[in-house]
Amino acid sequence: MEFVVYMQIDNSFLEKIAQRVKTISGLCLFGAHKDILRHYLEDRLSKMNMNEMEFWNFLDNEQEMRSLINSITIGETYFFREEKHFDFLDTKVFPKLKPNSLVWSAACATGEEAISLAVLNCKHGSKAKIIASDINTNSLAKFEKGIYRPRSFRQDGIKFKKELDNFSSINHDSSTVFDKNFISTIHKADFNLIKRCGSLKNITDGSVSVILARNVLIYFDHDTQREVVNFLIKKLEAGGILLLSTTEISHFQDFEVQGAEKLNFNNVFYFQKTEVC
């Protein structure tokens, strides 16, 4: 029997890797996320029988770095998360969208948010194009399959659950399976919000009607958060809307955001692109 010697990494190496991840992806790792990184590194070095310096050099391999980032960006998400946001989108936003408008889920994780947007799009006959991107390619692969466990459904968002039934069925193992043709209507691509790179193309400045970037800024320091928000604002058309999570938007002062104003509708706070930037 072959035994694998379990590798324990030094704290200084952990910090060095965390800093490298931040430089490449903008992700600031602390608390549980840093514990996940430590576990990944110790497991990976043990399986590959590498020391810390060998692995550091091996991270020059793009696929290896992608695997590392995938391991630490497994997002917690579910359908119609923050139900009040979808009330706002349902009553005030989607009914006014023009044909071929762009709606972008900019941190879609395993797809529950993007599917929720696509459902509203169909409900209103909006004919908008739903775009979904994420840095985690494993999450996007799961999204492509369109199969979800019960944990993707919560009491929050239950108001809209019946809308999902029009595009899905229940499997024998209690999983929800979405129609492949419906899933294919959502344009999916990997994208790094910090480096502005990935397979996502042709989202030009001033072209997007609605952007959701919720529960992604928590991975960034405040300077990087501000940088990402201003990047996304530039992508909005005049009057376009950027939705962050309730906790995230509360950290922003108006003067930190260029070309947009913070507005409130029924306790849903959002940024709206102004006419003049």
- What are 202-255's pLDDT values in tens digits? 899 999 999 999 999 988 888 999 999 999 999 999 999 999 999 999 988 877
Confidence of residue 6 (pLDDT cuts 50, 70, 90): low
Mean of the pLDDT values across residues 77-87? 97
> Cα-atom radius of gyration of the chain, to the nearest Å?
20
Q: What distance in Å separates the CA atoms of residue 176 and residue 112, rounded to the nearest whole number?
A: 12
The full DSSP string for 98-145 is PTT-EEEETT-TTSHHHHHHHHHHHHHT--PEEEEEES-HHHHHHHHH
- In the block, residue with structure tokens 């019960």: 150
Per-residue pLDDT, 1: 42
Mean of the pLDDT values across residues 135-155? 95
Confidence of residue 3 (pLDDT cuts 50, 70, 90): very low
Sheet harboring 176-178: ordered strands across?
147-148, 176-178, 168-170
pLDDT at 13 over 90: yes
Please state which CATH number belongs to domain 83-273.
3.40.50.150
Distances from the Cα of 195 to the Cαs of 125, 192, 258, in angstroms?
A: 35, 6, 20
Q: Give the tokens for residue 72.
A: 């630490």
pLDDT at 106 over 70: yes
Per-residue pLDDT, 161: 94
Q: Which residues pair with 262 in a beta bridge?
A: 271
Q: What distance in Å separates the CA atoms of residue 244 and residue 247, rounded to the nearest whole number?
A: 8
Query: Hey, where are the domains in the chain?
Result: 11-72, 83-273
Q: What distance in Å separates the CA atoms of residue 62 and residue 241, rounded to the nearest whole number?
A: 34
Greatest pairwise CA separation for the chain in angstroms: 69
**What's the mean pLDDT when you consider all of the chain?**
92
One-letter amino acid at 254 equals D
Confidence of residue 277 (pLDDT cuts 50, 70, 90): very low
Mean of the pLDDT values across residues 89-99? 96
pLDDT tens-digit series, residues 157-202 = 999 999 999 999 999 999 999 999 999 999 999 999 988 989 998 8
Angle 257-262-267 from CA coordinates, rounded to 5°: 145
